[in-house]
């Protein structure tokens, strides 16, 4: 089967985030916020699930590429910005969400709650923005 769309997510980023996977980082990246949250509170299901995920990343990557829309906003850059500069709202500026970006900048990501929200919804936010640009 020929894969005609560009990759929205990459295995390299998945494996980099897997290093912190016992905190659920790679699961959030691949659009699995419920299991990401479970991993966060259970240290990757007591490290066992984290080790199993080492082998599941290729399939999670394929699923994410099918589920999310590619476009002008890059998922990988957005996730790096959220992960390391989320409290400053830099990822929101990158996505063109200037008002919420300024609010995040002035409030520390609305005291961190907005950053948690974005970990849960960033892939869908980007997919919607990328889909609306194509229309």
The DSSP secondary structure of 84-109, one letter per residue, reads HHGGGTHHHHHTT-HHHHHHHHHHHH
pLDDT confidence of residue 133: 60
pLDDT of the residue at 47: 87
Structure tokens at 72: 């002008």
pLDDT at residue number 61: 96
Helices 33-46/48-67 angle, 10° precision: 160
At 63 the pLDDT is 95
pLDDT of residue 134: 55
SS3 24: coil
Chunked mean pLDDT (size 10), the chain, 135 residues: 69 91 88 93 89 94 93 95 94 98 97 95 96 65
What does the chain come to in residues?
135
């Amino acid at each position: 089967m020929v894969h005609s769309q560009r990759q929205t997510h990459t295995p390299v980023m998945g494996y980099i985030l897997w290093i912190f996977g016992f905190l659920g980082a790679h699961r959030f990246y691949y659009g699995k916020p419920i299991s990401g949250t479970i991993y966060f509170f259970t240290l990757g299901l007591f490290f066992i699930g984290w080790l199993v995920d080492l082998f599941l990343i290729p399939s999670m990557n394929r699923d994410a590429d099918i589920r999310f829309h590619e476009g002008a906003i890059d998922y990988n850059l957005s996730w790096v910005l959220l992960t390391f500069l989320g409290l400053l709202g830099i990822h929101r500026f990158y996505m063109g969400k200037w008002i919420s970006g300024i609010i995040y900048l002035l409030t520390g990501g609305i005291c961190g709650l907005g950053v948690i929200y974005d970990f849960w919804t960033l892939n869908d936010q980007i997919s919607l923005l990328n889909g609306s640009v194509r229309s």
